[in-house]
A and B are shown apart, each in its own frame.
Chain A
Amino acid sequence: MSIGMSVEHIGADPHGDRGGPAQPLLTVRKLVKHFDLKKSFVETMMGGGKVVRAVDGVDFNVLKGETLGVVGESGCGKSTTARLLMHLIEPSAGEIVFDGETVGSPALPLREYRRQVQMVFQDSYSSLNPRLTIQDSIAFGPQVHGVGKRESMTRARDLLARVGLEPSRFAERYPHELSGGQRQRVNIARALASEPRLVILDEAVSALDKSVEAQVLNLLMDLKDEFGLTYVFISHDLHVVRYISDRVMVMYLGKVAETGPAEALFEHPLHPYTRALLSSMPSMDPDRRTEEAPLAGDPPNPIDPPPGCRFHTRCPLAEAICAEQTPTLAATGTRETACLIHEPGSRHTQTGAAIYAS
């Protein structure tokens, strides 16, 4: 029953596709977020004080209907990027363009943007109001956007059924009466309730048991087909990202290291960081056992990131030039890499060498 209804909802959506299928759904340009460290009085007077460069100039596109996986170590700026995309925190600089319209411009005010973009958080418990029944939680979003109470409740129940929770049993329960997997289904239903076009999944399955995780992943893929959604899927779990993503973006210390189609990127990583990251992935196949040493230690402090290429302090292929010249994110075909080795004309000795042609 929910399927028919949902399709109708989408058909009646006055805020549908604008720029056509070739227009990226989301274009992020030079997105920067610096957090001020707590300053002492003197530093404030001197105008100094340091900043944490959580996201430091990130460019990427999210194409219509795709799933963009975002991977990286803890502290690389994945979650900050998600919160910036939702405008939960104000970017320090940069621009977010949604289907051809700049977010916050008169053509696309923030409130309208927020109806079309929704987020699922990692902590399924703290992302549901403990004092509201789950159908009230789900119906909240539509009500904010002027949908009547009765219709929002009907929609909430339809969505509950759609995410695999029998409405007659679950609609009037409270979050603490559900399991983690059930709660995360509720969160997904909640995100879908305002009929978004883009859903940001910030570690949405990371806190779940493996078996439940698989169920929720499959549910997400089904919902994507059914509602014509686009996902930004943030995770530290490389297997999951490979499974669900069409394209993958690798982040390191607030910058994009590499983007590319999932299979190509996992089979032939271009950036040394991606290689190192993938080598930390245990393989099931004894013939393809991990040979490259995984990275040791933590990434450098984002308060004082290393000059030049941010990865040069841990990169096995680093040369002196890497500490001086900052690589640009350059496109080669469908791939983009920020590494001097792949930058024609850089003074890295291995530039142009087909080192990864394995």
Chain B
Amino acid sequence: MNTTMSLPAKAPDLPLQPRSAGFWTGVLRKLMRDPVAIGAGIVLLILVLMAIFAPLLTPHDPYQASMLKRLKPIGFEGYVLGTDELGRDMLSRLMVGARLSLFMGITPVLIAFVIGSGIGILAGYAGGLVNTLIMRTIDVLYAFPSVLLAIALSGALGAGIGNALLSLTIVFIPPIARVAESVTTQVRGRDYVEAARASGAGAVTIVRVHVLGNVLGPIFVYATSLIAVSMILASGLSFLGLGVRPPEPEWGLMLNTLRTAIYTQPLVAALPGAMIFITSISFNLLSDSLRSAMDVKA
């Protein structure tokens, strides 16, 4: 009978445990041990730094055309990555293009993450009729293929960066809302949410304290994987003339204008595509690593 009461008294000699680290500290520590995550992280860091400091780093003016130096190959003197169809330095244009491409990739996902999570958590926590109403409405948007929806919205709104961002945001809200809804529905059924209800807490308090912390992580991981899609879609819109307009450098647009040179300078023409590929695969790998690092049981 007394064993339980004297338990704390029995074990005072044990060394004091270090204050246990928070959840995110643990995630960070696991990420630092994952070579794939580190590699992808370094690549993305370089890309972001390159985009931020592009004006200081570019060897040439990215807008300076030259009829004499059109479509020079990679390694041409003074032009490390060759020149495009108007004789502009590819390296400079790729560096400056990273700004718009990354911006177009991240911004719509970020906005859609905020809005979609809100909608999904509301639907998932409310359940019942509210859930049905919200989710079936979302499904109407979800039924369109994302490329088609983005093109249709951009086309309807008119060309331009702002409209492209808006249409991409609308495209990403339904999938994020669906993930948010399903994760929230799972968490809502856990005993700790029941226990919180049993202690008389209101819905807002329960969502704030018990649901958000357990739900935002998985949604965030899913959203990071959408950044790659967003970049590709944004490039696609630019390619179709619905996003960024020339002469602004943007990887998708560059891919479009260089397509005519695919037979004369295939390597140079493929460079913007390679940049899109590297960026999107880095985001994908990082979000994969993030997913496994956030798995508490692992």
Query: Which residues of A come within 8 Å of B, CB atoms?
Result: 83, 86, 88, 110-112, 114-115, 117-119, 121, 123, 126-133, 137, 140-141, 144-145, 161, 163-166, 168-169, 172-174, 176-177, 187, 190, 194, 215-216, 218-219, 221-222
Contacts and interface: CB of A to CB of B under 8 A. Distances in A.
Contacts of A121: 191, 194-195
B4 A172 contact: no
Interface in B244-259: none
A145 B205 CA distance: 12
30 contacts: A88-B194, A88-B197, A112-B200, A114-B198, A115-B200, A117-B198, A119-B198, A121-B194, A126-B190, A127-B192, A127-B194, A127-B195, A129-B192, A130-B23, A130-B296, A131-B214, A140-B201, A145-B200, A164-B4, A164-B5, A164-B7, A164-B8, A166-B12, A168-B16, A169-B17, A174-B20, A190-B195, A219-B4, A221-B1, A222-B5
Interface string B8-20: 1001101011011
B22 to A, nearest CB: 8
A88 to B, nearest CB: 6
A242 to B, nearest CB: 17
A195 B248 CA distance: 66
Contacts of B196: 140, 144
B210 interface: yes
Contact of A140 (B4, B16, B194, B209): B209
Contacts of B12: 166
Contacts of B213: 129, 131-132
Contact of B200 (A133, A144, A177): A144
Given A115-B200, A168-B16, A218-B4, 9 more contacts: A88-B198, A119-B194, A119-B198, A129-B209, A144-B201, A145-B200, A161-B8, A215-B7, A218-B1
B209 A194 contact: no
Nearest to B15: A169
B8 A165 contact: yes
Q: Is the interface of B mostly helix, strand, loop or mixed?
A: helix
B140 to A, nearest CB: 21
A146 B238 CA distance: 55
A344 B209 CA distance: 57
B64 interface: no
A215 B191 CA distance: 23
A222 B5 CA distance: 9
Contacts of B23: 130-131, 174
Nearest to A196: B199
Contacts of A215: 3-4, 7
A140 B5 contact: no
Contacts of A118: 198-199
B19 A140 contact: no
Contacts of B20: 133, 172-174, 177
Contact of A194 (B4, B7, B199, B296): B199
Nearest to A185: B4
Q: Which of A86, A110, A166 has the most CB of B within 10 A?
A: A166
Contacts of B1: 218, 221-222
A202 to B, nearest CB: 10
Contacts of B16: 168-169
Contacts of B214: 129-131
A226 to B, nearest CB: 10
Interface in B139-196: 190-192, 194-196
Nearest to B26: A174
Contact of B191 (A112, A127, A216, A218): A127
A114 B213 CA distance: 24
B252 to A, nearest CB: 39
Nearest to B217: A131
Q: Which of B11, B191, B214 has the most CB of A within 10 A?
A: B191
Nearest to A114: B200
Nearest to B216: A131
Q: Which of A111, A161, A164, A218 has the most CB of B within 10 A?
A: A164
Contacts of A173: 17, 20
B4 A222 contact: yes
Contacts of B200: 110-112, 114-115, 141, 144-145, 194
Nearest to A214: B3
Q: Which of B11, B194, B195, B213 has the most CB of A within 10 A?
A: B195
Interface in B11-53: 11-12, 14, 16-17, 19-20, 23
A241 B210 CA distance: 33
A219 B16 CA distance: 25
Nearest to A89: B194
Q: Which of B1, B194, B198 has the most CB of A within 10 A?
A: B198
B209 to A, nearest CB: 6
Contacts of A111: 200
Nearest to B191: A127
A128 B23 CA distance: 15
B95 to A, nearest CB: 40
A216 B252 CA distance: 64
B170 to A, nearest CB: 31
Given A86-B198, A88-B198, A114-B198, A126 B192 contact: yes
Nearest to A200: B198
A129 B199 contact: no
